[in-house]
Amino acid sequence: MPQPPSDDPPALPRPAEGPLRLGGMALRNGLLIHGPTHWSIAARRDDGTIGVRSGRKPRFTPGRSGQVPLLRGPLRLAEAFAVVPLARLRLRSARLPFEDPRVLAVAAATNLAAAALAKRISHRVGSETAAAALGLLPAAVALSSSELAAYHGAEHKAIGAYELGDVNAASAPKEHERCGSNLVGPMLALSIAGQVVLERLIERPGRISRGVAAAGSVGAAVEFFAWSERNPSRLGARAMHRTGHEIQRLLATREPTAEQLAVGEAALAEILRVEGAPTRVQSAPAT
């Protein structure tokens, strides 16, 4: 396991407690993990070594704003996305999922197609539905890369093994119940529902009102995600988790190699170090 650079944040003292709540993002050659207060990134360099960096997360939810329903979800998502450029600048060898000419080309094509459909489909809800469906294409193309899908599996295995405690990461499942794939269904459904409600309330909604409706839909989807985690046996929660699990199983994840899993473990070890948490996962066997 590579030693973190000396200019990274020092380890923080942390009392003994349960496992940290961690999130992650697969890269084309590594993994980005964010914890309660810090982030870490690890990527496989061209020479075969593993680069590791970390830093403090930006905070968009100070005080009570982080407790307001519908508002806290978008703010926390914004915090997670704000980490991405910071981590990319700190570790230049890292490659983001959309740093791929194919993905950029598909993203540009879908934007043009969505604009064309908006002009041809008179019903606003229909055009929003088509645009939402087209918006999934760049992510699908990105995940068609076996490397990205494998690092997504490494993310789930490393974090899942840590949460289970004293489990070999190689034997942990490659699907995870808190994966963002669980949000796909709720966000699509609530986005369409939000536009339906908006058009019933306002005859000709403008960009601001549509933006507020879109943010509310995201917030509602995140609240439903959190509710489902607290109530996993409820019908709605089971439906969401089953859909997300199947997306992960069939498309979004693949079994990582030992080398890819080692990168995931490096990112995990670094986030535990800077968060001041004890390591609770066994490394995969060396090959």
Q: Residues 44-81: pLDDT tens digits?
A: 999 999 999 999 999 887 767 667 777 787 888 888 88
pLDDT band at 82 (very low <50, low <70, confident <90, very high): very high
pLDDT(224) > 60 = yes
Helix (H) / strand (E) element for 148: namely: helix 146-164
pLDDT(117) > 70 = no
pLDDT(235) > 90 = yes
pLDDT(138) > 70 = no
0.85 exceeded by pTM: no
| Domain boundaries defined on the chain | 1-96+265-287
* Number of CB atoms found within 10 A of residue 250's CB: 8
Which is more confident, 205 or 150?
150
pLDDT at residue 125, as a whole number: 57
**CA 253, 257, 258: angle at the middle one, nearest 5?**
130
